[in-house]
Amino acid sequence: MTPEAPHIDWAGLSPIVALTAGGIVVLAAGLFRGAWLRRYGVPLLTLLTLGATAGLSIWQWGEDKAIVSRALAVDDLAMFLNLLFCAGAIAAVVLALRDSSPEESGHGEWHALLISSVLGMTVLASAQNLVVVFLGFELLSIPLYVMCATNLRRSKSLESGLKYLIVGSVGSATLLYGLAMIYGATGATGFEQIATALSSQAGLIDDPLTLTGIGLIVVGFCFKVSAAPFHQWTPDVYEGAPTPVTAFMAVATKAAAFGAFVRLFDVALIDAATNWSPLLAAVAVASIVVGNVGALTQTSLKRLLAWSSIAQAGYMLAAVVVADREGVEALAFYLAVYLVMNLAAFAVIVARERETPFGDDIRSLAGLGASRPALAWPMTLAMLSLAGIPATAGFIGKFTLIGATVDGGYTWLGVAIVVGSMLSLYYYLRVVAAMWLSDVPVPAAREPVPAIAGGSPELDAAADPEDGAGQDAGPDRPVSQAEATAVAVLFGAATLFFGILPSPLFDLARDAGSALGLL
Amino acid sequence: MPLSLLIWLPAVSGLVAVLWPARWAPRVVLAGSVITLVLAIGYVASFDRGAEGLQWVTDETWIAELGIHYKLGLDGLNLFLVLVTALLFAAALLHANLREWERPRLFFFMFALAESAVLGAFLAQDLALFVAFFDLMLIPFYFLIGAWGRGERVRATTKLVIYTLVGSLFMLAGAIATGVIAAEGGGELTFVLSDLAQVQLAEGTQQWIFLCFALAFLVKMPLFPVHGWMPDGYRAMPLPVLAVFSAVLSKVAAYGFLRVVLPLYPDASVHFQELMLLLAVAAILYGSVMAFTQTDLRLILGFSSMAQLGFIVLGIFALRPEGAQGALLQMVNHALVVVPLFFVVGALAARAGGSEDIRDMGGMAARAPLLAATFLIAALANLAMPGFANFVGEFYILLGVFESKLAIAIVASTGVVLASVYMLRAFIATMHNRAGSRAESRELSLGEGVAIVPLVVCVLALALYPQLPLARSEKSIDASVRTAQAVQR
């Protein structure tokens, strides 16, 4: 028999191809000298790449196939997550338009790193082979280590990058060890073969090698989704990294890691569920408690959102524990909701960091309700949604999560989510109170705003239907962050929209949820 | 006419107010609430009292994936509560129109949103929708109290919101569990109340879910052990906001017992009947004693409300149709009485240099016969003087309790006596006695009169004809109490 050239399914690979090609083009474009090209051309090319990837993912919706010797799944779950990654990355690019971090580290490099991180996420989200899992894991992490440190002149940013690198490497190493042990125990790297081996060979489920492997994999993933007790890096890294990078990291990394998490545990290791579900349930509860308690006293908004993200990771882990179709559906839905509400919040933080001297301190929001309703409303909706108040997407998200846990026989996990939400009310409402209930901001808040080209009061006014009275401030009014405001308004509106009409998102989440073939 | 119109009209008027110049906002929202009131009166007028079940049902699938319906309907349980809500919001908005507010558009938008949420909670016939509206009610009040309140408003607001939302989250968990567990065994996931009532949950399940709901409702009312937010909250709220909060929001909670808890968790209702009755008696005694010792008029009314809500809970958990009828009548009565009383407090404070302490008042009746008369009528109604509808309500409540738990009824009836003590004390200390140093006797102004007098007229009208709500609620009350009563036998 003559060796035949393997069949390559270019259509299925197309999102990955688009990202790879786009990354190279962006990197090359960054080498040109023209300031305009670097400043606007590179972000534009990046946006095109991400838009094309999202488009190709939509094109591949419903294909439901496995490519590259069944190592990559092109199913609705992967495509759904691709859309989330692209949304997160697009928001990050827009928020970084006037940020100093691409400036300092080179536009081409910054954006190429962003694209390659998205590439890693796409690979990770569709991986159904242990080797590919690790490949995707590293491809997503390494660019992020660098991006955290791209504010080259700020020591906190460098510290953040270094911390993330060290902790992340420990996580990767642990994960790799675990993957190797699973391979050793089952003799397979493909998820389907692992599942077959676990179900057919008696005693393999309780084999020490399998158990150790599962334990180490859980630890490795917990580092990435920042679940307690492997969360310590999160507040520092979130705080130190440039805010657009933090925004991207918070929403997209979490989606990618949970995508891989659910695929690995609910497909490959599903037969060992009796062994890992108590462990994961414990981690979920620990994250809910640690995250919410840690957030209570924070005054830095980025740290607050970091702790809140630990708690939210706990909520989502509950859906992984349930390990049925409803759980995956709830997880997919919640990941999308989580993205929407966090991006709204981060966009506001970005805008306020540039407008006030307080950085990301909660004081930067004081009196925002009166002075900048176009920023205050999205932030309010984001906080209410994170707390799970009705008429926001977060309420529906929590509703589905709790419904899935109760239906899956884990009522006590649902109760843990409820108790966690109670704790979280305190700190989310503190942010809302700062915006609406505190008095006029300190006058110094208005001074050191650099006059940056591109600020457009008209657009700001157009995006501000709530209260035109905020517009009549005097000439000392800070330069409006039009694009950050636009991102905030867009995602704030989405938070409200999916809170009232969640059905479109549910349809997508249901397709994604049924991709794994669980009951 | 779809009921959605009734719910969303205030919110739409609020949105319109936001888009129009600020000085029109108060009028626009007031107009919206008056039209809502007219609609509500129309519903009451054309209500078919002979028919059983819901009328004017709207039933749309809202979130198909979760089995949540946008189902609204009117029956004897909520008919008059909706009317009273519309009436009192219109009155409160009228009162709010009498003064200037900072950022008026946001203030009136939030006020209108609050009305929509409360009406939604009363009309919802789907458990998830009810929970959503119940939680949503709090958001506008968070802003109204936090941004336009007085004194330590931020602390008070945070306390209030956390107290009530903690209760609400328990309720959310209970509601989800109800739907999911009811669907176990092949049924389709649904949260429609009438469908859920067909399924009997296991008694143990019912019990913990009952406790979740009871906690949420007791905090909202508030009743004795979980009223920690009340003193600070009452002190901080702007007066028109306080009036509707005290009058209407507590009724949503009491209504929740009749609409959700008794039909859905009858076994647990019987199981915890004595606990609830004891809590109610404790609230009556504690509220009355506290009302007697306070000097801040707001707190006197606040603790008196707690005692009244104790009576309402007492009536509901008599698990007898008479008791529940009395409770429903008393909900309407108390709401109708407490709002003019709070407006009188506002009028008195304006005549006592801004103080709401009864020690700064006195002799107010001298040159203000109309003010004194309205206060006296409302006070007598609140203490359930025979002749007023409140007397009928309390009579029915005690009748129901006498039938089921004699000892508790005897203790509770002392609450009737205590009520006359604290109400008359407040009346005498402010209206007669020696005039306080800053007190000045002045007749009601036109604006105050327009806000207060019609409500007092409504109280008198209800005193003459309490059958109006009683006749229309009888069938629905029976349906609500029936299952629990059957379990008890």
The tens digit of pLDDT for each residue in B452-476 reads 999 999 999 999 998 888 888 888 8
Mutate to test the interface with A, among B20, B61, B63, B171 (most CBs of A within 10 A): B63
Window 70-129 of B: residues touching A by CB (8 A cutoff) are 103, 105-106, 128
Q: Domain for residue A420, yes or no? A: yes
Looking at the fold, whether B345 and B362 belong to one and the same domain comes out as yes
Check CB contact under 8 Å for B154 and A438.
yes
- Looking up tokens 């940020």 gives A99
Which among B222, B248, B264 is the end of a domain? B264
Looking at the fold, whether B259 and B341 belong to one and the same domain comes out as no
pLDDT of residue B23: 86
Chain A residues near residue B142 by CB distance under 8 angstroms: 429, 432
User: Cα A42 to the chain's mean position, in Å?
Assistant: 23
Which among B219, B244, B264 is the end of a domain? B264
Structural element, H or E, at residue B58: strand B55-63
Q: Domain for residue A265, yes or no? A: no
Looking at the fold, whether B67 and B134 belong to one and the same domain comes out as yes
Distance CA A114, CA A88 (A): 11
For residue A314 the two structure tokens come to 């706990």
- Looking up tokens 């607001």 gives B157
Q: Please, are residues A341 and A490 in contact by the beta-carbon 8 Å criterion?
A: no
Distance CA A406, CA A209 (A): 32
The tens digit of pLDDT for each residue in A168-220 reads 999 999 999 999 999 999 999 999 999 999 989 888 888 899 999 999 999 99
Chain B residues near residue A399 by CB distance under 8 angstroms: 66, 128, 172, 176
Q: Please, are residues A143 and A113 in contact by the beta-carbon 8 Å criterion?
A: yes
Sequential DSSP letters for A364-409: GGTTHHHH-HHHHHHHHHHHHHHHT-TTSHHHHHHHHHHHHHHHTT
> Of the candidates A418, A426, A467, which has its C-beta nearest B105's C-beta?
A467
Distance CA A327, CA A510 (A): 10
The tens digit of pLDDT for each residue in A56-94 reads 999 999 888 888 888 899 999 999 999 999 999 999 999
Looking at the fold, whether B201 and B321 belong to one and the same domain comes out as no
Q: Domain for residue A328, yes or no? A: yes
Q: Domain for residue A468, yes or no? A: yes
- Looking up tokens 């790449």 gives A49
| Confidence band, pLDDT 50/70/90 cuts, at residue A110 | very high
Which among B233, B264, B295 is the end of a domain? B264
Chain A residues near residue B65 by CB distance under 8 angstroms: 400, 502-503, 506, 510
Residue range B360-385: average pLDDT? 89
Among candidates A317, A344, A345, which has minimal Cα distance to A331? A317
- Looking up tokens 């409140």 gives B390
How many structural domains comprise chain A? 1
The tens digit of pLDDT for each residue in B192-221 reads 998 898 888 898 899 999 999 999 999 999
Among candidates B337, B357, B341, which has minimal Cα distance to B349? B357
Q: Going by C-beta distance under 8 Å and a sequence separation of 6 or more, which residues neighbour residue B339?
A: B88, B91, B92, B243, B244, B246, B247, B455
**3-state helix vs strand vs coil in chain A, percent to 5:** 75, 0, 20
Q: At what angle do helices A76-95 and A107-126 cross, to 10 degrees?
A: 160
Complex ipTM: 0.87
The tens digit of pLDDT for each residue in A437-477 reads 876 555 444 444 444 444 444 444 444 444 434 444 333 44
Q: Domain for residue A94, yes or no? A: no
Distance CA A256, CA A246 (A): 15
Looking at the fold, whether B240 and B284 belong to one and the same domain comes out as no
Sequential DSSP letters for B308-327: HHHHHHHHHTTTSHHHHHHH
Which amino acid is located at B105 in the chain?
Answer: R
Check CB contact under 8 Å for A510 and B139.
no
Looking at the fold, whether B249 and B318 belong to one and the same domain comes out as no
pLDDT of residue A78: 93
Distance CA B312, CA B390 (A): 11
The tens digit of pLDDT for each residue in A230-269 reads 999 999 999 999 999 999 999 999 999 999 999 999 888 8
B131 → chain A, closest CA residue = A390
Q: Please, are residues A228 and A290 in contact by the beta-carbon 8 Å criterion?
A: yes
How many structural domains comprise chain B? 2
Looking at the fold, whether B278 and B248 belong to one and the same domain comes out as no
Full residue range of the structural domain in which residue A482 is found:
278-519
- Looking up tokens 């208005």 gives A446
Q: Please, are residues B102 and B111 in contact by the beta-carbon 8 Å criterion?
A: no
Evaluate if residue A289 carries a pLDDT over 50. Answer: yes
Mutate to test the interface with B, among A437, A464, A466 (most CBs of B within 10 A): A437
For residue B355 the two structure tokens come to 């103080």
Looking at the fold, whether B173 and B94 belong to one and the same domain comes out as yes
Sequential DSSP letters for B363-417: -TTTT-HHHHHHHHHHHHHHTT-BTBHHHHHHHHHHHHHHHH-HHHHHHHHHHHH
pLDDT of residue A480: 66
Q: Domain for residue A166, yes or no? A: no
Check CB contact under 8 Å for A407 and B180.
yes
Residue range B130-150: average pLDDT? 91
For residue B142 the two structure tokens come to 């968070």
The tens digit of pLDDT for each residue in B57-86 reads 999 988 888 889 999 999 989 999 999 999
- Pairing state between β A72-74 and A65-67: antiparallel
Q: Please, are residues A421 and B187 in contact by the beta-carbon 8 Å criterion?
A: no
The tens digit of pLDDT for each residue in A124-178 reads 999 999 999 999 999 999 999 999 999 888 888 999 999 999 999 999 999 999 9
Looking at the fold, whether B166 and B282 belong to one and the same domain comes out as no
- Pairing state between β B68-74 and B55-63: antiparallel
Full residue range of the structural domain in which residue B45 is found:
1-264
> Of the candidates B157, B161, B173, which has its C-beta nearest A402's C-beta?
B173
Looking at the fold, whether B193 and B76 belong to one and the same domain comes out as yes
Distance CA A516, CA B2 (A): 43
Distance CA B198, CA B221 (A): 28
pLDDT of residue A519: 67
Chain B residues near residue A395 by CB distance under 8 angstroms: 132, 135
